[in-house]
């Protein structure tokens, strides 16, 4: 309430990207004062997925803490896991500003940041500091994407491999981003043959790293776009099953301009409620096409416990939020967790796993 009535109007009176940078700097400073601790958890919400224990199902989506600046603070806000990135192998500035816009009447965001990243070396260094040689008490996913000035198939594969090698030692899972709309040509990597080559390469890397370190292979999650045609979604599902990829993240932002957005000429990806319908449709298709065998992280327009619950029933084992945090404030993850407990109990489920996919079967 205080956030929506007092803080949000103050923040929204200023430029979106400057507010983001200042808020993150403040959270990073707060993070240095607190110890990393286990986030909110409950037996009904804790799950083991792809060999990772998730204390609760609500994660911070990629793009908010791209450079791993504020890790210790996120579990304090109730997040059960954090996805940093997108990280590119080489540091790069991203697109020219302005490149981040609020659309308050729709509770939406439009961004064309274009992978502004401190690069894999710096992010790996930060992750090594925060982990201090020990495992963190909550999972950290690291989302990797293509460096912009890398061209051609072989060079792109090398680029993803370089990021993977540098970052996988610090990651609970690696999210392979082939779906951001703001890096030219990136979404082509969702096509069947290219996706197969990319995922096979990273899988091989993950297995050799596991042998070298005497540890389990770091699981791969592939992050997909909400703008794929149904047959392309089936292709992605086929490759994921064939390559035994641990999970899917559905979805990234949309470039579609439907309904109220038809006249919107700014380029970039839309997030928040306008993305919901596409994100849900993609999730449901993926759930069916994989026969419910592959864990899916549902993301896109989730801003309440009810919405998170619908996504879980549609086939998501976990959810992520970003835009909702901007509009609903920092207590949203805790509210979602508490609301989920109530909704599960109302419907007679003892554990979240029992609800996954029941509306998509």
Spatial neighbors of 197 by CB under 8 A, at least 6 apart, are 153, 157
Mark whether 206 is an active-site residue: no
Q: Which residues are annotated as a binding site for FMN?
A: 62-66, 86, 143, 177, 223, 251, 272, 301, 322-323
Task: Give residues 159-178 in contact with ligand FMN (rule: CB under 6 A).
Answer: 177
Burial status of residue 315 (CB atoms within 10 A of its CB: 0-12, 13-18, 19 or more): buried
Of the candidates 117, 172, 180, 206, the residue annotated as catalytic is 180
Chain residues 1-60 in contact with ligand FMN, contact rule CB under 6 A: none
Q: Are 127 and 170 in contact (CB under 8 A)?
A: yes
| Interaction between residue 70 and ligand FMN (CB under 6 A) | no
Q: Closer to ligand FMN at the Cβ: 63 or 72?
A: 63
d(CA 54, CA 46): 6
Question: Applying CB under 6 A, which of residues 162, 275, 332, 355 lies at the interface with ligand FMN?
Answer: 275
Judged by CB under 6 A, which of 63, 78, 119, 315 binds ligand FMN? 63
Of 24, 28, 50, 61, the one binding ligand FMN (CB under 6 A) is 61
- The answer to whether residue 111 forms part of the interface with ligand FMN (CB under 6 A) is yes
How is residue 40 written in tokens?
Answer: 């909110």
Size of the site for ligand FMN (CB under 6 A): 28
SS (H, E, C) 204-271: HHHHHHHHHHCCCCCCEEEEECCCCCHHHHHHHHHHHHHCCCCEEEECCCECCCCHHHCCCCCCCEEE
Q: Which is nearer to ligand FMN, 108 or 344 (CB)?
A: 108
User: Which residues, at least 6 apart from 96, have a Cβ–Cβ distance to it below 8 Å?
Assistant: none
Which residues of this protein are in contact with ligand FMN, per CB under 6 A?
A: 61-63, 66, 85-86, 100, 109, 111, 113, 115, 143, 177, 180, 223, 252-253, 271-272, 275, 299-302, 321-324
Catalytic residue annotation: 180
């Amino acid at each position: 309430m205080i956030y929506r009535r007092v803080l949000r109007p103050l923040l929204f009176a200023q430029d979106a990207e400057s507010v983001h940078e200042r808020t993150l700097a403040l959270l990073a400073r707060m993070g240095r004062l607190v110890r990393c601790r286990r986030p909110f958890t409950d037996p009904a919400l804790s799950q083991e997925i792809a060999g990772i224990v998730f204390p609760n199902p609500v994660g911070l989506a990629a793009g908010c803490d791209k450079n791993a600046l504020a890790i210790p603070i996120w579990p304090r806000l109730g997040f059960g896991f954090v996805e940093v990135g997108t990280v590119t192998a080489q540091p790069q500035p991203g697109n020219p500003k302005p490149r981040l816009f609020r659309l308050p009447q729709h509770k939406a965001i439009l961004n064309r940041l274009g992978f502004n990243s401190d690069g894999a070396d710096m992010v790996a260094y930060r992750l090594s500091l925060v982990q201090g040689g020990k495992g963190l008490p909550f999972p950290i996913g690291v989302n990797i994407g293509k460096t912009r000035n890398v061209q051609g198939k072989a060079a792109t594969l090398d680029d993803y491999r370089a990021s993977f090698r540098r970052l996988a030692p610090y990651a609970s899972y690696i999210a392979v981003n082939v779906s951001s709309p703001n890096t030219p040509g990136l979404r082509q990597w969702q096509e069947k043959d290219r996706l197969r080559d990319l995922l096979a390469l990273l899988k091989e890397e993950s297995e050799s790293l596991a042998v070298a370190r005497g540890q389990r292979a770091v699981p791969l999650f592939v992050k997909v776009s909400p703008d794929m045609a149904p047959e392309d979604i089936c292709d992605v599902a086929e490759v994921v099953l064939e390559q035994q990829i641990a999970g899917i993240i559905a979805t990234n932002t949309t470039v579609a301009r439907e309904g109220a957005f038809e006249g919107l000429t700014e380029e970039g990806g839309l997030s928040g409620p306008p993305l919901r319908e596409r994100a849900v449709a993609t999730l449901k298709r993926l759930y069916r096409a994989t026969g419910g065998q592959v864990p899916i992280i549902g993301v896109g327009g989730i801003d309440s416990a009810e919405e998170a619950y619908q996504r879980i029933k549609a086939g998501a084992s976990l959810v992520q939020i970003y835009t909702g945090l901007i509009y609903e404030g920092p207590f949203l993850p805790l509210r979602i967790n508490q609301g989920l407990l109530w909704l599960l109990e109302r419907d007679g489920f003892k554990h979240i796993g029992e609800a996954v996919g029941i509306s998509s079967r």
